[in-house]
Amino acid sequence: MKDSKTLLLNYLASVRDPERAASLFADDGVFELPFLRSLGGEPRYTGRREISGLVHKLLEIYPNFAFAPDETRILIETTDKTFAEYVGHGRACSGENAAQEMAAVQGDAGILGPVSSSFALCKL
């Protein structure tokens, strides 16, 4: 396994490629976005297939979404855990610009998911 910081940075760089992004998770890895419930979506996705499907759906809603490397701050880093704040930008299906601010915890099983996040509202 790569160290946790490298794994997180690889995920952020590959978010426009759903299969590659999902491949960075463990087979039974979990991706959680609790706020998706307010948009009509499920808040928890388990396994690479579900995670890839979620990323595909999010790219339909935010077609030019990408994380900004210069807006990634690693706050805590050990060999097996990384806590970071990072920002992504895109244009929502409503035509509004969206900025996503996230913090993530990552460990042995791959990226465990964002601790918090916010998006411009669009139904899933």
The DSSP secondary-structure symbol of 25 reads: S
Amino acid at 33: L
Per cent of the chain over pLDDT 90 is 21
Nearest to 43 by CA among 120, 111, 117, 108: 117
Reduced to 3 states, what is the DSSP secondary structure of residue 87? strand
Residue with tokens 């790569």: 2
**Beta-sheet pairing, 97-107 with 110-116:** antiparallel
Beta-bridge mates of residue 82: 77, 106
- List the domain range (segments joined by +) for residue 54: 4-116
pLDDT in tens, 79-108: 778 888 888 887 777 666 555 555 555 555
Mean pLDDT (the chain) is 78
Q: What is the pTM of this model?
A: 0.76
Kindly report the CATH number assigned to the domain that includes residue 30: 3.10.450.50
In a domain, 121, yes or no: no
